Structure 1
């Protein structure tokens, strides 16, 4: 019997990864990574003197095509398989990552007249400059008692589609008017490969306020936001919405030639990266929560019932696995938080010692921090260096570190930041369960579980729960490949359902992280103090974080030429 393969294409924040998978058993045959040539654009536009304001995060969409052009041929060449054996392609993407395009689907930033217009570029998921628009969306939805708001924990985010699109309209109306559509990047890549203008129900549900039975918010709601937005859905969100596991289209002859694949290869509807990681971790049953741990941390929970809980980033029917309700929550800085400290806060002598031992600074700090007991640092932190996504949903919040003395050492701070991330996750889990949605099993995936064993043990100790780890180190790409195999269908040698495909293509490791009860008792006490800080700084009792931000923005405006 001829082997069949699927390709998963995982678009992250800094790079794109292509994974070739044997669909019979999930064996990962070959992988290749292409770093985005332009990276994250958060200081100035490429090849220009245009300086970006704070909280901006853009990308150049041709970087996404570079991943296709370089990494797909690379995995085919290194594997030596016959391209005819590849039956499906799946694509996952950071979200909400959006771009304005013309009637041909060409990004407006490709056009010469808009090369120096920031709003013509991709707005990356962590673009937070639309917070004012998000605030006004929330205020209007509350005033009008809009039904959709409860599905998102009572608040929408500056990271999402409507806020970002409205920012374009407010600050660059020419770009808004010229845009035939404003698209999720996942849908845009699918459009390139297939010429099919399909929108993902996953992206639309979690990031654009769409509902399976109710559709998008009404024209009356958009008109109340801004009369210019009355026809926003009809004019900017065109395209059929298809569910996960569906075939969005087939690979065009042009792209087949560029990639070295067969024309007609099935291409799945796009999916958000963390949601793909759930399938790639084997989580396809109610009560399972997947923690996708990388630069940020996304919590994906499956349930057989719909309950609306405070601050949850969304509940969407069929949003992760068809037939179940998928809940999303998250922390917008975890790996990024630890990386910030290593890059900006570690003294030179630590770097010298790490180099002397031949290990990374992260590994060296982990080694030193492992020698400390819970509470021994005397420190406590709020993990909001990139705002709060759950449960407060407020990008204007910032980080906090309490307890510093002249005796504080770098490893103390490092361990404190690890603990803060775990406290943030515990807060999310408790919020789910207090609302009536059970969390029966925790599965971790992503880069952090592979690199930082201390972090994983702290997460187990803080939550008081066993944490299993997905066997694959590339769960998002594997999950995308699973959706590609389902899009191909049984008639082409693929699968009929996500559950069937995941049961064959995924597994968890035998080793897991179990809580140390002695440590958990101490962390229970520290978590009580974390909660006090969470409520004081997060719910308006002490508004210093936002006051500092207002002063900063004012002074930056005065300092700008």
Structure 2
């Protein structure tokens, strides 16, 4: 192979706590160098930077400076690690969490730069759930009016999405709302910084901003929510760019940040979960990809349009041009395990883990894996971060049933792992009951490292699990989109086949354990349905919020 003739692309994945860049060879998808940059501000949850204004319950913000710093630091480091000439890089692609959205001026300046003491001037991270009352109003009005777009979102839109967050800004800080010429996804804002052109991608518009059949919800509908909200869609942008498309060319300023050649292709923005489909070469109908990390996002393509209860959305061209793209998800998965380890495990466990050179997660996993199915006597609901699918209610909360004075941390840890797998099974069953078959279940994301967890999922789902062949799924997927934008491949299907990586049936279910889990799953469904109306959860949250005011 003549390395002098090779071409390369950069993929940049903007996550919840950090951003990572990877250098990828265009010909075969080989990842040659990577770097991570941790956000200085991370997730802003209690007070604005500098110890300023206090934030209320369920807030989650980010800083745009953190995002630009990823371009300044991670991209040059990845390029240096790859040891490839910068002049052979032909394109850059990016992905973001969503809905992570910010108010900005007409030239793209984030309002938090001029109004740093106003919480609503800052970007709202995907897991900002303080807009739940606004989402509830949107859903109630849409159901009352029979809005045709509502079934495309499983009957409910989420508090995480653009309209609920925008309505919250309007009603809690109308000055910030009025000064925001743009209400723009971070996925599109970062592209603006790279190529100097404002674009809006079809993925975030469709899944997070209720764009269906050529338009957003009507002005009449928005005015019924609040007369001042009628023109909200004017802040969103009307022209949508296709995935894998060319957003523009790298500016001189962005070339200076990244060390990349000015003028290379910049791919249209995208969402972290959705680009991972290409990285796993899972762009065909029936392949559901579960990106499992702090949360889990389930995405898949289909040639059929169906209404799936509780799905996050179905969008034409939303994952791969020419197909319907479906999305569902679980608001917290890895976050649940981290919460439990951080808050509920005795020091003696940490000491024992340290003595053996294990992390606390590894120690608990080892202990949990020694149990037989059902031996802990527990069943849990995976709602510590609310429920994204299929109930679409972020004011729900976790439940653990069956605890006694003999219950140990490893028992609860295993029950929480099982609860997230039960939640995934319910999502798969809901899709198939709606006429959207799941023919292959593909796993990506950081939780792949836990082999016990993967086997539990295979047993509970009663199906083989395929796994992505990359530790950097979103970044690789963004790189694949960059290759298409640069003209190296005709379309995403061709690029995914050449550059994507997947091991089929890496985990297979054990029949005996699967049968035992069916009994526990039946109890999970009973518990799920009992608490599905959220009455007790909502009342408790209301009491908490009043006490915290």
TM range (shorter): over 0.9
Query: 1:19 is matched with which residue?
Result: 22
Question: Which among 522, 533, 542 is matched to residue 539 of structure 1?
Answer: 533
| Cα RMSD (Å) | 1.0
Query: 1:207 is matched with which residue?
Result: 208
Deviating more after overlay: 249-258 vs 28-37: 249-258
8 Å CA contact retained: 2:464, 2:505: no
User: Normalization by structure 2: what TM-score?
Assistant: 0.98
Alignment of 1:297-446 (within 5 A): 297-446=296-445
Counterparts of 2:483 and 2:63, CA distance in 1: 29
Secondary structure at the aligned position of 1:33 is classed as strand
Q: Which runs of 5+ in 1 are unaligned?
A: none
Query: 1:219 is matched with which residue?
Result: 219
For 1:324-365, what per-residue CA distance to the aligned partner results, in whole angstroms no more than 9, with x for missing partners?
111000001000000111111110010000001001000000
Counterparts of 1:239 and 1:35, CA distance in 2: 34
Query: 2:508 is matched with which residue?
Result: 514
8 Å CA contact retained: 1:300, 1:328: yes
Does residue 1:550 correspond to 2:542, yes or no?
A: yes
Query: 1:165 is matched with which residue?
Result: 166
Counterparts of 2:256 and 2:544, CA distance in 1: 51
What is the total number of aligned residue pairs between the two structures?
A: 546
For 1:33-55, what per-residue CA distance to the aligned partner results, in whole angstroms no more than 9, with x for missing partners?
00000000001111133111000
1:79 Cα offset (Å): 2.1
Secondary structure at the aligned position of 2:338 is classed as helix
Counterparts of 1:398 and 1:289, CA distance in 2: 26
1:181 Cα offset (Å): 0.3
Counterparts of 1:354 and 1:304, CA distance in 2: 49
Counterparts of 2:238 and 2:143, CA distance in 1: 29
Query: 1:91 is matched with which residue?
Result: 94
8 Å CA contact retained: 1:197, 1:240: no
For 1:446-491, what per-residue CA distance to the aligned partner results, in whole angstroms no more than 9, with x for missing partners?
11012x11110000000100001111111111000000000001xx
Counterparts of 1:79 and 1:406, CA distance in 2: 54
Query: 1:3 is matched with which residue?
Result: 6
1:104 Cα offset (Å): 1.4
1:510 Cα offset (Å): 6.1
User: Normalization by structure 1: what TM-score?
Assistant: 0.96
1:251 Cα offset (Å): 0.4
Counterparts of 2:485 and 2:364, CA distance in 1: 44
Query: 1:147 is matched with which residue?
Result: 148
Secondary structure at the aligned position of 1:198 is classed as coil
Q: Which runs of 5+ in 2 are unaligned?
A: none
1:258 Cα offset (Å): 2.2
Secondary structure at the aligned position of 2:507 is classed as coil
Alignment of 1:437-476 (within 5 A): 437-450=436-449, 452-476=450-474
1:511 Cα offset (Å): 6.5
Counterparts of 2:424 and 2:192, CA distance in 1: 36
For 1:355-386, what per-residue CA distance to the aligned partner results, in whole angstroms no more than 9, with x for missing partners?
01001000000110010011000000000000
1:237 Cα offset (Å): 1.0
8 Å CA contact retained: 1:198, 1:239: no
1:12 Cα offset (Å): 0.5
